[in-house]
Amino acid sequence: MKFGVNAWVWISPCTTDELAALAPKVKKMGFDILEIPIEGTFDLDYTVGAQILKDNGLTGTMCAAMGPDRDLIHDDGKIRENGMNYIRHCIDAANTMGITNIVGPIYSAVGRVWQQPADERVHDLDLLVTNLKDLSAYAADKGAVLCIEPLNRFETSFINLASQAVEVIDRVDSPSCKIMLDTFHMNIEEKSLGDAIRLAGSRMVHFHACENDRGAPGSGNVTWPDVAQALRDIHYDGPVVIESFTSKVKSIARAAAIWRSFEPSQDALAENGLHFLKKLLAT
């Protein structure tokens, strides 16, 4: 099992210079993976980024940032197409960087919530499945896997549960479209974190291990023994990544509602979380 950390723990956006400074720190801490968010499509030189990861003995994963103009099920066709083009950009970027997993709520803009009648949900699910089939075919040609993430009810009203993600993934039916689960969101939405993980089963190829308050894993009330047992039950051996954010970056703090620090430092959040997860998931 490989352990990673998202660059959002420290920085936003992830530029070429920021990546060059962050990669050796992450490696020294003992992480195997650096997860790279793609906010602006011109923030990072992907060829240089690939070399930075290689030089520091790290592998990468990629995190999609679904903003208001990136939405695969929006009523406005221009917004839908912009969302499709953005994900294609991420797939191309991942290919350049030697990255496989592209993770996130690859369906709708984060923060867009609405009361959805049953017939509208059927329509939007059909639209999403069609668009994900298209994107999955593109990803397959580039060696990438889209990992669809359920979010909590305050960040989306569309896919909140593992069961809803399973419905979508089974309909898309592509090896290049799978599931990512995140314990921060699961802690809000799922009746049982372990049962949700077992339901996703082999469909889950990426995992965010995050505390209920976005602090260091192991410092809050997530039911970690249940999580660990469920991961063993499904024989999970994919990336386990810590995702959190810093209140010092005002744009990401507002988007993620990060108004205070959760640990003495962002370094402590990452290091303490890694130590806990390695001990928790030791075989």
| pLDDT of res. 256 | 76
List the structure tokens of 131: 């668009």
| pLDDT of res. 260 | 79
| pLDDT of res. 250 | 63
The single-letter DSSP state of residue 256 is H
| Mode of pairing for the β-strands spanning 145-148 and 101-104 | parallel
Q: Is residue 180 classed as helix, strand or coil in its secondary structure? A: strand
Residue 45 belongs to domain spanning: 2-280
| pLDDT of res. 181 | 98
149 is known as an active-site residue: yes
Dihedral, CA of residue 65, residue 67, residue 72 and residue 76, to nearest 10: -160
| pLDDT of res. 259 | 76
What does pTM read for this prediction? 0.96
Query: Which CATH number belongs to the domain containing residue 222 in this structure?
Result: 3.20.20.150
| pLDDT of res. 238 | 97
List the structure tokens of 176: 């290049």
| pLDDT of res. 176 | 98
Q: Nearest Cα to 38, choosing from 10, 22, 62, 60?
A: 62
C-alpha–C-alpha distance, residues 147 and 180, integer Å: 5
* Long-range contact set of residues 252-260: C-beta below 8 Å, sequence gap at least 24: 252/8, 252/12, 255/110, 255/111, 256/214, 258/214
| pLDDT of res. 251 | 66
Q: Of these residues, 35, 39, 149, 190, which one is catalytic?
A: 149
| Mode of pairing for the β-strands spanning 239-242 and 2-6 | parallel
Q: Of these residues, 39, 155, 243, 263, which one is catalytic?
A: 243
What is the total count of domains within the chain? 1
The distance of Cα 209 from the centroid of its chain, to the nearest Å, equals 10
Average pLDDT per block of 10 residues along the chain, 283 residues long: 96 96 98 97 97 98 96 98 98 98 97 93 97 98 98 96 98 98 98 98 98 96 98 98 83 73 92 98 83
Looking from the CA of 81 toward its CB, the CA atoms found within 13 Å total 3
The single-letter DSSP state of residue 119 is H
| pLDDT of res. 261 | 81
The distance of Cα 29 from the centroid of its chain, to the nearest Å, equals 21
